[in-house]
């Protein structure tokens, strides 16, 4: 439990640190390096400006949805149920209550019972349920896109600064061992080594978030939550369109472009 509580504090701090570093590298290193590019394009449509706008759009969506996930915690099913389940958890007999109220779950970290519980996300330090599920998926999607965008611009920056070509598919794989040996022999600056390490981190986070996002959408189409899968519960027999509408609501297209509250979903109408 102590480890989980520790993780609940460390993971959001880790996320915020990576975001700050990414922001700083993009704004003070990658975009200024693009401005020096003598491509001859008009300043209005220069690659630096277009890329700056794209990066701001991606990161505003990622951070906006991150805040909305935290703000829209799944509703607490009442203190009495909460306490009863809390006591049951301590007794170790929580499984009886889990079957009594299907889809609900008592999260020990958030100390509340959530309806249609999916999982506890350590990066947001919050439970993911029906209310913030769409914002959570958008957060994963835009974090993944912002990481992959940073990866592409980082690779462009490194290939320009170190005059290396990434035309060979193996060049990216051999970049890390080569640069580590160059760094220790003094041929590579500390800042360049840092950017190269960040490239691998962006690749890892980008792929992990994309995979997580795809898996989550697949579960929603099936009408299942991660919690139900873990517990081996059967999925609701419903058309997939209905399942999607329940999570994404009527304003799904608006929610895809800007971080907005999930108003208009089936869940909110029931409320
Ligand atoms: Zn939780």
Give me ligand 1 centre to Cα 52, in Å. Answer: 35
Q: Which long-range contacts (CB under 8 A, 24 or more apart) does 16-19 make?
A: 18/201, 18/205, 19/59, 19/62, 19/63
| Residue closest to 55 by CA, chosen among 135, 152, 159, 197 | 152
Each residue of 209-263: pLDDT tens digit?
A: 999 999 999 999 988 888 888 888 877 788 888 888 888 887 788 888 888 876 6
Residues that are catalytic: 121
Find out whether 258 and 63 touch, Cβ atoms under 8 Å.
Answer: no
d(CA 147, CA 59): 9
pTM: 0.84
- Find where tokens 């706008």 sit: 53
Each residue of 155-169: pLDDT tens digit?
A: 999 998 888 888 887
d(CA 219, CA 235): 9
d(CA 31, CA 29): 6
Each residue of 54-103: pLDDT tens digit?
A: 999 999 999 999 999 998 887 766 554 544 444 444 444 444 444 445 66
d(CA 243, CA 220): 6
Give me ligand 1 centre to Cα 160, in Å. Answer: 45
Alpha helix (H) residue ranges in the chain: 2-25, 31-35, 47-71, 79-91, 94-100, 133-161, 171-184, 190-222, 226-231, 240-248, 252-257, 266-270
Give me ligand 1 centre to Cα 69, in Å. Answer: 12
């Amino acid at each position: 439990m102590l480890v989980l509580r520790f993780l609940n504090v460390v993971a959001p701090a880790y996320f915020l640190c990576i975001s700050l570093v990414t922001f700083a590298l993009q704004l003070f290193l990658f975009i200024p390096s693009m401005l020096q590019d003598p491509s001859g394009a008009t300043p209005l449509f220069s690659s630096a400006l277009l890329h700056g706008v794209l990066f701001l759009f991606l990161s505003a969506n990622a951070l906006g949805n991150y805040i909305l996930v935290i703000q829209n915690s799944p509703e607490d099913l009442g203190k009495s149920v909460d306490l009863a389940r809390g006591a049951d958890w301590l007794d170790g007999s929580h499984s009886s209550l889990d079957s009594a109220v299907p889809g609900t779950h008592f999260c020990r970290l958030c100390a509340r019972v959530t309806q249609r519980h999916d999982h506890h996300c350590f990066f947001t330090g919050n439970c993911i349920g029906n209310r913030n599920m769409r914002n959570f998926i958008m957060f994963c999607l835009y974090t993944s896109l912002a990481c992959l965008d940073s990866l592409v611009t980082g690779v462009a920056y490194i290939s320009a600064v170190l005059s290396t070509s990434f035309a060979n598919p193996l060049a990216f794989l051999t970049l890390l061992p080569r640069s580590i040996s160059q760094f220790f022999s003094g041929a590579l600056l500390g800042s360049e080594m840092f950017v190269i390490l960040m490239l691998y981190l962006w690749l890892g986070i980008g792929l992990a978030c994309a995979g997580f996002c795809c898996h989550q959408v697949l579960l929603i189409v099936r009408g299942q939550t991660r919690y139900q899968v873990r517990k081996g519960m059967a999925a609701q027999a419903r058309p997939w369109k209905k399942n999607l509408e329940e999570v994404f609501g009527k304003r799904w297209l608006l929610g895809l472009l800007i971080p907005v509250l999930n108003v208009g979903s089936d869940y909110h109408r029931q409320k």
